[in-house]
Structure 1
Amino acid sequence: MSNGKTPAQRTARDQLLRRQQAQQERVRTRRRVFVAGAVAAALLAGSGVGYALGAKSSGSSGRDSSSADGPLVIPAHATGADGTVITYGKADAKDTVHVYEDMRCPFCEKFETALGPTLAAMADAGKVKIEFHMAAFLDKSLGGKGSKTALAALGAALNESPLKFKQFHDVLYAAQPKDETTDTYGSTATLLDLAGKVDGLRSPSFNKAVKEGTYLPWAQKVADAFYDTPDVSGTPAVKVNDTRIEVIGPGRNAISPQDFTAKVDAALHQG
């Protein structure tokens, strides 16, 4: 039966249904992410531990099955297994603070805004070194490419120096959109504009690497490595040596710099 519909009308109806189904699936994906976060928040707030937004898995492994095009180029100054870690601080510091972040994660922004300067001061003084382990699961969970594109741009900054990476990293968190569903960092033009706030970063080689996505395959490799950390299930996560410390309190805000410093000091190697 044709139900009185012409072929063109049926095709238009089918297209509309497919668009509606796709939109409904995006809504369901967002709900899964935020419901998981709300459950975690309720459990952790009750224990006074803290809150990390976004699980590694939202019905799947969270890994991106499609790798970025182009050859794998590892930035100069990358550290760790296969160059998937970014280290900031003095190499001979005997204590390490491991920081796990996603550039689109609003709770990572809270951590960096409130506690990043305190942690950086510790690293600059040689008290600790910082190892950044970057994720991109919000791209998969919420749609878009901002986490990975921002990470690739950070790779271009790292290729210049760890200091340029840290400065650009801080600029990006300061400019992070209030809504993590807004894919602002999916635009390389926006990233280049923000890079102009870091003195000396906008070199021709940096601009070229960002525009051409030179470090996108590396960013994918870094993001995949996040899932290989068995005791980290979201961001932000912070470990001092092997000791996990909570940096987001029950009120979903970062703990105070004084509390953070005390927690770091308690986990440092003695002697």
Structure 2
Amino acid sequence: MYRDVSQKNSDGKRSARERLQEQRLREESRTRRKRTLIAAAVVVAVLGVGAGIGALVAHSGKDEKKEAGPPVDPQGATGKDSATIPVGKPAAKATLTVYEDFRCPGCAQFENAFRDTVHDLEAKGLLKTEYHLVTLIDNNLGGTGSLNAANAAACAQDAGKFAAYHDVLYKNQPPEPDDAFGKKPRLIELAGQVKGLDTPAFRKCVNDGTHDSWVKKSHEAFGKSSFRATPTVLLDGKNVYGDQSNPLTPQKLRKMVTDAQK
């Protein structure tokens, strides 16, 4: 009997020890798992931070690539910050200042109505024209047609063929929502309408966006001015195109330029 009780007590103590040992093993196992999970979380966090830094660096790198260098002014650009492309004889007494966007329908309307008169006055040495190229439509509707066309026009200026290419662009202007000028092959194709313009140098200038920064500079200058729409047309500093109650006509423009010679 005593032996049985003693045996039972011994078995009970052993079971208790085993239970304690098993509990310690379970606790140690849980601790190991917890440590493993913490370590894994730390690794994930570190990798996540690393990935974030990588994204920032990569993004920064992309921004640096997109960040254009110093503006490359077109040959013969004049005016403040060389933001003006001049056409006509510098000695002409009257100056027509035109702010234009190659995607702007109103600009095409002005050009198509006044082109012959302006060129005739320029050819006679009575008028010089100063063009300021802006990118309002790109900003308003999205796309790159205003920018790419203006860059291509600046490339044409390098070749001494700005006026002719400028006219071709307006004669072939797509509908305002159509960003056809955003496609550089189209701009190069249109250069074929200007004798001697479609050269390797012109193509490289268009494809490289050589004057993109200059175009942006020109647009920023427009934004700092008091003008808010294109076309803005000034004759000797006076706005002559925005008054709908007294609309400008080619005949009126010719008379005003002629009067300026007196």
TM-score, normalization by structure 1: 0.68
Q: Which residue of 2 aligns with 1:183?
A: 179
* 2:250 aligned partner: 257
Aligned CA distance change for structure 1 residues 125 and 138 (closer, same or farther; 3 Å): same
Q: Paired residue for 2:219, among 211, 220, 223?
A: 223
2:167 to 170, 178, 183: 170
Q: 2:240 corresponds to which residue?
A: 245
Residue number in structure 1 paired with 2:121: 122
Q: 1:240 to 1:175 in 2, by over 3 A?
A: same
Q: Of the candidates 201, 209, 216, which is equivalent to residue 213 of structure 1?
A: 209
Deviations along 1:17-49, one digit per CA (max 9) or x if unpaired, are xxxxxxxxxxxxxxxxxxxxxxxxxxxxxxxxx
203, 228, 234: which one pairs with 2:229? 234
Contact map agreement 2:121 2:254 (CA 8 A) in 1: no
The structure-2 alpha-carbon separation of the partners of 1:250 and 1:113, relative to structure 1 and needing over 3 Å to count, comes to: farther
Higher helix share: 2
Structure of higher RCO (CA pairs closer than 8 Å, 6+ residues apart): 1
Q: Deviation of residue 262 (structure 1)? A: 2.9
| Percentage of pairs with the same residue | 38
Provide Cα deviations, 1:184-204, integer angstroms capped at 9, x if missing partner: 110110000001100000121
Distance apart, 1:260 and its partner CA = 2.9
Q: For residues 129-149 of structure 1, what are the alpha-carbon distances to aligned partners after superposition, in whole Å with 9 as ceiling and x for unaligned?
A: 100111111101111110011
**DSSP 3-state at the match of 1:104:** coil
Task: Please provide the CA RMSD for this pair.
Answer: 2.2
Instruction: Name the aligned partner's letter for residue 255 of structure 2.
Output: A
Map of 1:138 onto structure 2 = 137
User: Is 1:96 the counterpart of 2:91 in the alignment?
Assistant: no
| Unpaired stretches in structure 2, ≥5 consecutive residues | 1-65
Which residue identity does 1:197 align to in structure 2?
Answer: Q
Residue 193 (structure 1) aligned with residue 189 (structure 2): yes
How far, CA to CA, are the matches of 2:171 and 2:94 in structure 1? 27
Q: Quote the Cα distance in structure 2 between the aligned partners of 1:202 and 1:261.
A: 34
* Count of aligned residue pairs for this structure pair: 198
TM-score by length of 2: 0.70
Q: Which has more radius of gyration?
A: 2
Query: Given that residues 70 and 214 in structure 1 are in contact (C-alpha distance below 8 angstroms), is that contact kept between their aligned partners in structure 2?
Result: no
Three-state SS of the structure 2 residue aligned to 1:78 is coil
Q: For the Cα contact (< 8 Å) 1:111–1:248, is it kept in 2?
A: no
Conserved? CA contact 2:126–2:257, under 8 Å: no
Provide the rounded CA distance (Å) in 1 between the counterparts of 2:67 and 2:137.
17
Task: Give the aligned partner of residue 84 of structure 1.
Answer: 83
Alignment gaps of 5+ in structure 1: 1-66
Corresponding letter in the other structure for 1:174: K
